[in-house]
Amino acid sequence: MDPRARFKGRKPACTVQCAVNQEMLEQIQGKVLTAPERVFKRGTKPCLFGKGGTCCHVCNMGPCQIIEGVEEMRGVCGATAATVASRNFCRMVAAGSSAHSDHGRGIAEVFYETVHGNAEDFEIKDENKLRVVAYYFGLDPKKETKELAKEVAVKALEQFGQQHGELAFIKRAPEKRQAKWRELGVVPRGVDREVVELLHRTSVGVDQDYRSLLKASVRTALADGWGGSMLATELQDILFGTPVPIRATVNLGVLKEDMVNVTVHGHEPEVAEALAMAAQDPEIIKEAQKVGAKGINLAGICCTGNEVLMRRGIPIAGSFVQQEMALATGAVEAMIVDVQCIMQNVATVAQAFHTAVITVSDKAEIEGAMHIPFDHHHPVESAKKILREAISRFPKRDKSRVYIPKSKMDVVAGFSHETILYILGGRFRASYKPLNENIINGRILGVAAIVGCDNFRVFDEVHVELAKELIANNVLVVATGCAATGLGRAGLLSPEAASLAGESLREVLEAVGCPPVLHMGSCVDNSRILIALTEMVNTGGLGEDIDELPAIGCAPQWMSEKAVAIGNYFVGSGACVVFGPDFPTEKSQVATDYLFHEFKNIFGANWLVARSAKDFAAVMIDKINEKRKNLGIDKPKPRILFDMAMRRALESPKVTSPFHGLGCFGPTYLKVEEEEEKAA
């Protein structure tokens, strides 16, 4: 029986972005309540005080709803709208930073146990990156690997509890930026200290000047971007491998009717890495075959998906807004969830099918889900236990209720900042110089990052329309997180999509066989973008600091507090960030003006807001053009007229990052490499 028959003629009661999601929504309706339907059925819009940042509930005299400019409508304690909106903004930054950073701490602990011989299965995969990290920790990178790894593990953990001094990776930022941070007193001392201090500042009766609060929020955010997140990315690369371009597929069509489907959802890659190893174990495959399946099909959701997509080419079933949809296919035996962005409703949706939702982290259990604690000392053994639970569910699958949409799309992912060196510069000239040259000569107008979540309250495909608009205007796009998955669904992560780019960008992309949108990883991997921006500065010809680059970031469908932390560390690092469709301090003009205007005077970059894809594109392209004008490169120049001063600047980069000499990026498989090999 066609399972769609029962929905025939029935109009969907509500909508969700993306055609395949809508298709699944029609499947799921009537079986169990899901987020799009909840958005629809709630009817009302979110409370404007809460949405705009002017509801305070930090003490029991509240909650106080504040109206800016109305004296009687200040908080009972007299708190102004600016103070309250800034406090709420700070709390989001602190929570977001704590999430990324606790993820970083988690992987640092796995790393520590692994290199001290207390954990099986994992090993050092990128020895050269280990040496890069050791260099920034002030260790001797030439030391014997095992000894060095132990010292790196200790130093990495110390970054979280450090009380004084500066976080080690601060030294990776452009020198001018470091000097600015020191002058402003916003260099983070230790990851935990900055998060705790910011929370303290926002509690009742402490920091009550919006300027002081918002400046402090940058210090905490920097502790995330150049601390917790960067530690997570680097240690994951050392343990599981630094990503290189890899082909894979995305969307719900990656689920398979004849296999045990196991989705890995959340953010931390160690469980998914272990599951990937266990799924290839002949013993496990045999057990799957015994129940009538051909084997185990692993598929990712959210950022855990991005992690294993980038390193192993494991397909992604869906982004944040697709987590319930994946279960509604009726074809998933188990959804393994670690931490962050897992909607409580997945446990409810799973109960309508034969699916097990299995929590594995001690930090994150879900009512109605099964809990199998992941043993970091025996990862593959733990993973096998989880897979056996999934296998046991396969015979219970009701084939008449299975509906797997056909949609899936080929993507190329794995563009770490190291890989970009090779793609654009080739193996023999690995450098950001070609990127800078192409920006200076106008072939590439600038670089835009589309990052962050997707959101059930956004109905249009803003990421997709925006990316198309940007590339058509010769802006190179990089993407992370669920935004990257959405862009993958739309086909923009494939080299063929270069045909949608403006003429000059297309020429550059076609020369190297590169997609117009580069997938740079998960949420914590936004730290890769910080390093890429620094590389552009250090390569020369585009100014001396990140705030001079024709580069900008955006999060058009931000949902999580983590996005606020990410945006704030980009702004604090000198890159403007556009949020949408709304901004969390909107109901205080004073606080919002400070973030949107005064931050530019302080940090050289500011926040902005936009609503539609067209608005975003206009704001971002204007900003890029403004930077080009400031650099004196606003008039496109043919290569032959390349300014000699710029050429000299490019010929002698200001700073050569230590990893250039280490060749730690592994092979890439793009056209340029093959051509170079042939030529050699």
The annotation places the binding site for [Ni-4Fe-4S] cluster at 267, 303, 341, 453, 482, 523
215, 201 Cβ separation under 8 angstroms:
no
Measured from the CB atom, the residue of 137 and 240 that comes closer to ligand SF4 is 240
Q: What is the dihedral of CA 226, 477, 429, 177, to 10 degrees?
A: -30
- Which one, 58 or 542, has the nearer CB to ligand SF4? 58
CB-nearer residue toward ligand SF4: 194 or 561:
561
Is the Cβ of residue 49 or residue 169 nearer to ligand SF4 in the bound state? 49
CA distance 25 to 35: 10
Q: Are strands 64-65 and 55-56 parallel, antiparallel or unpaired?
A: antiparallel
Query: Smallest distance from the beta carbon of 78 to ligand SF4, in angstroms?
Result: 7
Question: Positive or negative, the Cα torsion across 317, 319, 322, 327?
Answer: positive
Rank residues 366 and 445 by Cβ distance to ligand SF4 and give the closer one.
366
Q: How far is the CB of 608 from ligand SF4 (least distance, A)?
A: 20
Least CB distance from residue 584 to ligand SF4, whole Å?
Answer: 15
Query: Which residue lies nearer to ligand SF4 by CB, 355 or 526?
Result: 526
Strand 246-250 and strand 409-413: the pairing is antiparallel
- Beta carbons within 8 Å of 436's beta carbon, 6+ residues apart: 536, 539, 540, 541, 542, 650
Beta carbon of residue 84, minimum distance to ligand SF4 (angstroms, whole number): 6
List, in order, residues 6 or more apart from 635 with CB less than 8 Å away.
Answer: 442
Rounded to the nearest whole angstrom, what is the least distance from the CB of residue 518 to ligand SF4 in the complex? 16
> Is the separation of the CB atoms in 68 and 588 below 8 Å?
yes
The answer to whether 421 and 258 are in contact (CB under 8 A) is no
**Residue 433 or residue 562: which is nearer to ligand SF4 going by CB?**
562
Kindly tell me which of 63 and 295 has the beta carbon lying closer to ligand SF4: 63
In the complex with ligand SF4, which residue's Cβ is closer, 66 or 662?
66
* 56: exposed, middle or buried (Cβ count in 10 Å: 0-12, 13-18, 19+): buried
Contact predicate 584/89, CB 8 Å: yes
> Assign residue 426 a region: left if phi > 0, alpha if psi is -120 to 50, beta otherwise?
left
Contacts of 593 (CB under 8 A, 6+ apart): none
> Least separation, in Å, of the C-beta of 611 and ligand SF4?
19
Could you tell me the maximum CA-CA distance found in the chain, to the nearest angstrom? 77
Closest by CA to 90, choosing from 468, 479, 536, 585, is 585
Q: Which residues form the interface with ligand SF4 (CB under 6 A)?
A: 56-59, 61-64, 75-77, 79, 84, 204, 302-303, 320, 341, 452-453, 481-482, 523, 559-560, 562
**Nearest one of 329, 106, 365, 99 to 220, comparing CA atoms:** 99
Residue 206 beta carbon to ligand SF4: minimum distance, rounded to whole angstroms: 10
Please state the closest distance from residue 640 (CB atom) to ligand SF4, in A.
43
Tokens of 207: 């920091």
- Nearest approach, Cβ of 201 to ligand SF4 (angstroms)? 13
Burial class (CB in 10 A: 0-12, 13-18, 19+), 283: exposed
What's the 3-state SS for 202-256?
HCCCCCCCHHHHHHHHHHHHHHHHHHHHHHHHHHHHHHHCCCCCEEEEECHHHCC
